[in-house]
Structure 1
């Protein structure tokens, strides 16, 4: 009887135990999934922290490189300025030597004019007209003096010519040295500019800064202006002397002109152009920006020296690279789609000290 009771009790309890185990399993599974999600989130946090650390290290390296480059550029520019001073002194010496050469030539000409007739007379007449030894002695001493003075001036002219030749050679060597130094400086400035761009982009990514079109462009131009580039073309080609003679950057139709008071302001020229038209540099200079710029599409900025810049926007492709020095009329790229031109076109700006100036006052009237 007792055995039967135990069997019945067991049968009654077994289904309940099975039913109770099911919620426990579900709870364990849920807890396991939550732990897995927590582990995944922790892993992502670690990855983001590690990435932030890499970016921070990268920024620190860039900033250190910028400081080093600035010191190197400053030292190189000091050397270049000293070379320029020596060049200037050599040119001044050259002018002085040339002036001395002219003076020697005039004196030598005077001596020859005095000596030559007497020399011819002596050849023809020998000692005719010489009545005494004293007269002969005076004539001889006088001629000897003129001969000696002439010989002295000839020697002086020879030495002067040697000095001029050495001076010209010194000027040539100084000019070569200045060009090499300037090339090295500009390479370091290119590297510095690229580092500053990288720094600006990384900071913008990390901080998610939103900037207006004009402020972003002004920031770029300010970065370039800080470098104070000196270009080879600046020695013979000054931008300000070419007003109203510069070529148009592309052949096309002017859609709208410079109007900074408009709403929104138009700080350049909107030019419609045939598809696949080439865009050319309006002046000798250096490419300091070749990248996309929010609101302008793909942009090339050329620095022309003495704080003058030209900007070419909405390009479909470019043929140049950052740091490249370009010639006047050299192709920079191809026109792309420009909404304001309702098709292929170019947006073109001129700037002086970062401020927009009216391009039509600088470009040739022949369009």
Structure 2
């Protein structure tokens, strides 16, 4: 009877533990599913934002293309107007030269006219004196009359020339003033168009830069969310199956590639080294050290292309400075499956890779986990 009671008690205890575990598992899975749903909603929002930004960028680019044509025409107009301004300035200088030459000529004519008038005055006085005895000296009178007539004609000609020159000077001065005004207006017009052109270019450049930065930020955010979604999907899948016991593989993991160790695990060094670096042959294949799920495959600043594989029990392996990788986030990989090719590793100034192992995001020494054979 005692044995039966103890057996029943044991069964109830096991059932109670199983129920408790089942509830805990269900709650954990529900929490992950809820988080996954939230992240998917965030991803959809980010995708919509990114689509809107892409449309804005496309519209702005189209507007820029249209306005570039306007700007090109404006630049041509400016060139034509600058040429006209140059021509106006040349004409203005030519008119100024003509004006100066004509003015000098006018002054000379005035001097000549004054000289002639001075000569005419004594002649006028003599003619008054000779008027009384003109009949007694006809030859002298005829001679003086002929000379006086020529002198008067010369004076009249100089006066006409002087009037014509003054009229020309006045016309040239008017033209010169008009040309100067027109040239100033042309220059102001050219400068105004140049200012407008500069403002358009600066405004477009600023708008395009702003949208490009927003797109880059949205794309980076979307990548992070998709990475989280991949991780959550993997965790949900892991909850539904037993999975490999990664902690039992310490010391027997295959190397990610066969090469020479260039850097060793030194987390306290400055700068710290949280993994190992390998110098490899060109086009060496990089392989997964254990089965798992890809949770990251992208370029990271300072590490080149990086692939991160999540294994069971919160263990991760990281492969950096890959030349390429065809894997996608969410892909399942097997142990020793090729995940990419070796790329340029700055630490060895040639082909190579950098490898890390992490447990709960904390770096652990990979050499203690890898097989002694490299």
Query: TM-score, normalised to structure 2's length?
Result: 0.49
Query: TM-score, normalised to structure 1's length?
Result: 0.49
Q: Relative contact order: is structure 1 or structure 2 higher (C-alpha 8 Å, sep ≥ 6)?
A: 2
